[in-house]
Amino acid sequence: MLQYSKYNTIHRMEDHVVLYNALSQVILVVDNERELQDLQHELASDSPAQAFLLKHHFFVHPDIDETALARLYRLDAQMNNDLQIMILPTTACNFECVYCYETMEPCAMSRQTQQRVKQFFKRQVPNYRSVNVEWFGGEPLLMKDMIYDMSESIESICRQSGRKYQASITTNAYLLDVETFQNLLRHHVYTYSITLDGPAFIHDRLRPCRDGKGSFDKIIANLIDIKNKVEFRYFTMVIKVNVTRPLLDVFDEFLAYLSDIFEGDSRFTFMFRVVGDYGGEGIGQIKQELLGEPDVVYDHLLRSKITLDYRGHYALLANQICSAAKRNAYTIYTDGTIYKCASLLTEDRSRVGELGEHGEFLLDNARVSQWVGKQSDQGTCASCSFAPSCNDCPAKETMMNNERPCVMKNERLDKLLELLTRDRDSRMYGFVYQLSEGEIVQC
């Protein structure tokens, strides 16, 4: 007889029940407890509902070793044949964020190193199924012409090799005017990660320009221009809102402000997160404003009557593995040094190689193995229902004396599931389904 997956999470609410399976990373909303009980009967029938429940692992055969299956999924994610490269065209930045932990000296990638990067892709692209490039910094748009030039070379190589190419960028958006945005789109940059710290009076204090001027108004103006003037539908703008105690005092007002601008445009999605103490000289200035655990943020989002597109939070459920733990994911620094973790740039433990004079990929596999060879199904994690979806980070394990950090402790997963399903009648997320009267439909 079929049984519930050990990787199911069941969250019961007043008017419905939410199921989440960490293997398939699919969310299923059931109208009521009776429907939940009737799921077992659906498995006895030859129906679309039965096929769905089995395909997405909500039910499994009792002779299946789910731990081994989860390990296989992890290995697939680790060892896939997709080349994932983060490139730093510069470490300079036009902002001076109070909580910034980066200690890199400002420098730009030389022409010689740019040529090595191009040669690297020429050598490597034919060996992979697809290529994904992320532009990072510093502020990468300080070197937008370099990005355009390198993108053209990489695109050409992928085109000639018949390989799929896509790109993303992490930017503060101060320089992201419509012209720049359209140029980036032409170079297949379809995913954008942008940070806000609240309304202007909070954001400008925490994320000022290097000359001391505020940055909020310019960023918002750029985003509004992109929203109103760019017709292309297939980009995603993930706006990450850093939450500190002062923002909680005006939380609903800020949500309303964002809703007035972006509601109804599914290209713009939001993720709210707490500011962490990751070191650096400036964090001491706002220690008393830090919140610590993110649960209070979820509480505020759930209490608010204002809703935004929260697909950004799904990344916490969908990341089976940290990019630093993937065999074919690396970061190329401005000088051609290769690192594994973008959060530990210039640190020796993250340095795993360098680009040779002609773009050779010179890796120290002993160092790489410290990132890729980690096992994640040991100890208490082996019995956790969330384990297959956990974005376990080798760097955090090292910093925490090899203890894997728990990202979904207490009721955090329940709150996240509630956030992603409460507005399901008016949004099409793609990963949320609903079972109603024996029929499963995508929300």
Across residues 403-422, what is the average pLDDT?
81
Residue 143 pLDDT level (bands cut at 50, 70, 90): very high
Across residues 63-90, what is the average pLDDT?
93
What is the spatial order of strands in the sheet that 8-12 belongs to? 8-12, 17-21, 26-30, 432-436, 439-442
Across residues 382-403, what is the average pLDDT?
68
Asked if pLDDT for residue 42 goes beyond 70, the answer is: no
pLDDT tens digits, 230-246: 999 999 999 999 999 99
**Per the structure block, which two tokens stand in for 115?**
């040529």
Q: Is 25 helix (H, G, I), strand (E, B) or coil?
A: coil
Asked if pLDDT for residue 381 goes beyond 80, the answer is: no
pLDDT tens digits, 302-342: 999 999 999 999 988 887 688 899 999 999 999 999 999 98
Contacts 24+ apart (CB under 8 A), 371-379: 371/324, 371/325, 371/340, 371/341, 372/78, 372/325, 372/326, 372/327, 374/325, 376/74, 376/404, 377/67, 377/70, 377/71, 377/74, 379/404
Specify the pTM.
Answer: 0.93
* 414 vs 100, residue with greater confidence: 414
Residue 24: per-residue pLDDT? 94
Asked if pLDDT for residue 399 goes beyond 60, the answer is: no
Ramachandran assignment for 304, one of left (phi > 0), alpha (psi -120 to 50 degrees), beta (any other): beta
Across residues 29-57, what is the average pLDDT?
77
Across residues 68-78, what is the average pLDDT?
90
Residue 279 pLDDT level (bands cut at 50, 70, 90): low
Percent of the chain at pLDDT > 90 equals 64
Residue 44: per-residue pLDDT? 61
Asked if pLDDT for residue 276 goes beyond 90, the answer is: no
CA dist 13 to 25, 32, 414, 421, 431, Å?
20, 9, 10, 11, 19
Residue 378: per-residue pLDDT? 57
Asked if pLDDT for residue 93 goes beyond 50, the answer is: yes
Residue 410: per-residue pLDDT? 62
Residue 400: per-residue pLDDT? 46
Average pLDDT of the residues of the chain: 90
Residue 397: per-residue pLDDT? 55
pLDDT tens digits, 430-440: 899 998 777 88
Across residues 359-380, what is the average pLDDT?
81
pLDDT tens digits, 158-204: 999 999 999 999 999 999 999 999 999 999 999 999 999 999 999 99
Asked if pLDDT for residue 139 goes beyond 70, the answer is: yes
Asked if pLDDT for residue 103 goes beyond 90, the answer is: no
Residue 401: per-residue pLDDT? 47
What is the spatial order of strands in the sheet that 130-135 belongs to? 268-274, 236-243, 189-196, 164-170, 130-135, 82-87, 329-332, 337-339, 351-355, 361-363
Spatial contact of 246 and 215, defined as CB atoms under 8 Å apart: no
